[in-house]
Structure 1
């Protein structure tokens, strides 16, 4: 027996018609939160990508399996080897940019749920000891009302492990690429968490990978306090 349940897409608010059956009820199949049209506008990262940052490689901006950005990071002894690998789920196209802006800056918290299947699937395939959200400063979190990275983790049915706090600075979106790369350290360990990470594999989580500076600064402070390997997962690249 089949019937249809009508709800609305979290992204476009269009009618979301989902097929249901006794089988789906008993097996608790994953419900849908976004429509097929919006799913198709999310562009998964495919093809030949950088071994470290997941950037889609172009012939003129690569050396072997690394992009030029990661080569520059790895050639700097201050940053080399800090980030083992970043996995990004989607291209940061105009559609995703608008969805993230609504979620992150306009307080539309429920949009986080639309990414649940893909985030949960990606995390399930990765081995780690702690899933650590990139934190906001207290001032920025008060301004927004929530930390978008924690929201994405929680709405995906996962449990974050907050290990880091953040010093308040100018918004990242207002900084140039050069300024982002040359940031001073903006993270601190939450003191009571330091003994828990010796030799552990950490999976950092953030919404967007831009230059890789934020993730590497976070990885650096974690490594300095005993962490083993550092990986990261981001929504967009």
Structure 2
């Protein structure tokens, strides 16, 4: 008997032939809660990992979505983020799950996604430096933990805290899309740049929205000498 980390109801795990051969990886949630989650799957943008099934055909060109094409057409951002892969679509249920651990202090809930995070990591790279997106000192004190760091620890115990935010700023969730994209100064600095030189880096965060946070982090890491930067997020 197991207990759901979200609704706390007891449940009996569902088994299938794919489970027996280790082909199926499940969250630590009950079946009712897990069934509401929407895995990102099928045809996706080759850069940001967005599911093409969720928006009209005119918003893509080839294997890229229009958002990523706009990033790549800007000479300041071309090739900055190698790729992002997200586990789930940011639907209403996942939005509530993230709010529960991010704003209401239920850090234990993050562990529900550890099995799926590890599986996705194996698909991307097992040779990369894992670096979580940092919070500002004020935000970290307010929250008591950094959700990106806890997600990263679900992938591996060997993570590198080599990014730092320069100053406290308004929450990204409170900004409009244009405000996120118009940010001029890079909010991140690299601690001990010599450690990232020539390294492949995997950034970890909770939500990919416009991609600006991950790209700013990737840019400062590349400027410090990183070879390549990709990312993984819980939601897209």
Normalising to structure 1: TM-score of the pair?
A: 0.89
Native 8 Å contact 2:27 2:114 kept in 1: no
Native 8 Å contact 1:50 1:66 kept in 2: yes
SS at match of 2:124: coil
1:70-109 matched pairs, under 5 angstroms: 70-109=68-107
The whole-number CA distance in structure 1 between the counterparts of 2:7 and 2:155 is: 20
CA drift at 1:16:
2.1
Native 8 Å contact 1:130 1:201 kept in 2: yes
Residue aligning to 1:136: 135
The whole-number CA distance in structure 2 between the counterparts of 1:31 and 1:155 is: 14
Select the residue among 32, 35, 40 that pairs with 1:37: 32
Q: Deviations over 1:208-232 (max 9, x none)?
A: 0000000000000000000011100
Query: Moved runs in structure 1, 4+ residues, more than 4 A?
Result: none
The whole-number CA distance in structure 1 between the counterparts of 2:48 and 2:68 is: 7
Native 8 Å contact 2:121 2:155 kept in 1: no
Q: Deviations over 1:15-64 (max 9, x none)?
A: 122489xxxxxxxxx99621111111111112211110011223110111
Residue aligning to 1:117: 115
Native 8 Å contact 2:26 2:115 kept in 1: no
Select the residue among 59, 62, 65 that pairs with 2:60: 62
Aligned length: 223
CA drift at 1:200:
0.8
Residue aligning to 2:172: 172
Select the residue among 7, 12, 15 that pairs with 2:2: 7
The whole-number CA distance in structure 1 between the counterparts of 2:228 and 2:181 is: 21
CA drift at 1:131:
0.4
Instruction: Tell me the C-alpha RMSD between the 2 structures.
Output: 2.0
**Structure 1: unaligned runs, 5 residues or longer:** 1-5, 21-29
Native 8 Å contact 1:188 1:221 kept in 2: yes
Q: Deviations over 1:128-176 (max 9, x none)?
A: 3200000000000000000001112224554321110012111111100
**Structure 2: unaligned runs, 5 residues or longer:** 16-24
Larger radius of gyration: 1
1:124-203 matched pairs, under 5 angstroms: 124-127=122-125, 128-166=127-165, 167-183=167-183, 184-190=185-191, 193-203=192-202
The whole-number CA distance in structure 2 between the counterparts of 1:37 and 1:77 is: 46
SS at match of 1:34: coil
Residue aligning to 1:24: none
The whole-number CA distance in structure 1 between the counterparts of 2:155 and 2:128 is: 17
Residue aligning to 1:26: none
